[in-house]
Amino acid sequence: MQLFSCIYLGMDKILSEAEAATATDRVFKALADPGRRRLLDRLRVKGGLTLTALCDGMPMSRQAVKKHLTQLEEANLVVTRWAGRELEHYLNPMPIHAITKRWIKPFEHARLDALWNLKKQLED
């Protein structure tokens, strides 16, 4: 079996090509939803948020936030830890890093940075 990549799953585990493709598909599917991206942004700014804290300011029900968090956990983008009676949520940046290395790094960064800067200047 040919090994494709090493993706952090809480423990170091080498995945087969098919397993890595499935894991990558879950990450892309999780990132496709703007609500899930907003949750990830909030966890990027401040980790260790509880479900109640994550629900504050979200334009969706508590059940919907929990469903989105479950999908983010299945994609390994969010990890949880019990702190007493509360479940804290943290961003796991490793799956995004793996995507960056595979899908973005092969392109020339200087040109991408120049295009990004041009876009920002035109938007301002």
How far apart are the C-alpha atoms of 56 and 39, rounded to whole Å? 11
> In this structure, what are the phi and psi dihedrals at residue 47, rounded to the nearest 5 degrees?
-85, 170
Contacts of 42 (CB under 8 A, 6+ apart): 49, 54
Alpha carbons within 13 angstroms on the beta-carbon side of residue 55 total 11
Digit-by-digit pLDDT tens for the chain (124 residues) are 333 333 444 444 566 767 767 888 999 999 999 999 999 999 999 999 999 999 998 999 999 999 999 999 999 999 999 999 999 999 999 999 988 888 887 777 777 888 889 999 999 8
Q: What pTM value is reported for the model?
A: 0.72
